[in-house]
Amino acid sequence: MYAWNAARRLFQPRLSSLTATPATIRKMHIQSIPMWTGKSDNYAYLVVDDKSKEAVIIDPAHPAEVTPVLKKAIGDGSIKLTAIVNTHHHWDHAGGNGDMLSELGQPLDIIGGKDCKKVTRTPKHGETFSIGSIAVKALHTPCHTQDSICFFMQDGDDKVVFTGDTLFHGGCGRFFEGTGEEMHKALNVTLGSLPDDTRVFPGHEYTKANAKFGVSVLPSHAVKALETYAEKNQETQGKFTIGDEKRHNVFMRPQDPEIQKATGETDAIAIMTKLREMKNNFK
């Protein structure tokens, strides 16, 4: 079933185009902008409401790779850019805010964690706002940084979450400013409570490395399927859901006997802490 679901998603219409044909028009458009200059592996995301053309750009850390896309869309009337949204304050997510404002030459809200560069608004945990007809909820997920915020968005039946460096396909972020207890809550309580059909858009392309580690801990069909997909696809963002992560992400399976055996722990927080230590040292 897992393999069939993953395969079926490959043939679903991509949401990265702002000029979809009438047969594939969706209210919420998501355009991934890989920022891969040099050794970078970040993603910025342009989210557009089809009806109002209101739009936000998420984590545009490298303006040289993002502003041409935005200027073209603004110029041809495809979008009305209203805000920069940051998932956390690290330079490879929020470091481009100042240059973005200068290059675009228009006032924009900067919505993100309290330590993000030039931030103008930090939504509280559970606070909601909108991008046209798209409903947005801020979910505080402190651990990778203490100001980490994931953004859950819904337009009709379409549900997505932008997870920054908290949740990756098959993995999670390092605990730079937090603990295993905080990451367990972030992944398995806060994000784990989202609808299973919520598509995940992480901040980096780390799937291949995450899957390789995952197979070393839990060589299940689901984890092996993720590894196979990552080997065949350079980009994996948005291709898997929260429900998928619960199956193939070892950091979201503390109840699994094989993971308990691999870590030598049975407590969920101890398992999270041990898994992250193992991943940090994995070659």
Amino acid at site 53: K
Radius of gyration of the chain (CA): 18
What are the beta bridge partners of residue 42?
35, 204
Q: Would you write out the chain's pLDDT as a tens digit for each of its 283 residues?
A: 444 344 333 333 333 333 333 334 457 999 999 999 877 899 999 999 999 999 999 999 999 999 999 999 999 999 999 999 999 999 999 999 999 999 999 999 999 999 999 999 999 999 999 999 999 999 999 999 999 999 999 999 999 999 999 999 999 999 999 999 999 999 999 999 999 999 999 999 999 999 999 999 999 999 999 999 999 999 999 999 999 999 999 999 999 999 999 999 999 999 999 999 999 999 8
Q: Which of 29, 62, 89, 93 is catalytic?
A: 93
d(CA 30, CA 138): 18
d(CA 84, CA 60): 8
The answer to whether the CB of 184 falls within 8 A of the CB of 272 is: yes
Please choose, from the candidates 139, 96, 141, the residue with its C-alpha nearest in 3D space to the C-alpha of residue 116: 96
d(CA 86, CA 172): 18
Q: Which of 29, 89, 184, 204 is catalytic?
A: 204
Task: Report pLDDT for 38.
Answer: 74
d(CA 114, CA 120): 9
- Judge whether 89 counts as a catalytic residue: no
Q: Which of 29, 62, 88, 89 is catalytic?
A: 88
- Judge whether 221 counts as a catalytic residue: no
The answer to whether the CB of 43 falls within 8 A of the CB of 35 is: yes
Task: Report pLDDT for 60.
Answer: 97
Task: Report pLDDT for 8.
Answer: 37
Written as six digits, the tokens of 217 are 């801990």
d(CA 224, CA 35): 27
Q: Which of 49, 59, 155, 165 is catalytic?
A: 165
Task: Report pLDDT for 26.
Answer: 54
In 96-206, which ranges are continuous DSSP H helix?
97-104, 180-184
d(CA 280, CA 2): 28
d(CA 121, CA 131): 15
Task: Report pLDDT for 228.
Answer: 98
- Judge whether 204 counts as a catalytic residue: yes
Q: How far is CA 23 from CA 13, 19, 260, in A?
A: 10, 11, 47
- The CB density around residue 185, as the number of other CB atoms within 10 Å, is 21
What's the whole-model pTM score? 0.90
Q: Which of 29, 144, 169, 184 is catalytic?
A: 144
- Judge whether 169 counts as a catalytic residue: no
Written as six digits, the tokens of 55 are 């739009």
Please choose, from the candidates 44, 11, 48, the residue with its C-alpha nearest in 3D space to the C-alpha of residue 30: 48
Written as six digits, the tokens of 195 are 């609808």
- Judge whether 248 counts as a catalytic residue: no
Q: Which of 29, 62, 89, 90 is catalytic?
A: 90
- Judge whether 144 counts as a catalytic residue: yes
- Judge whether 184 counts as a catalytic residue: no
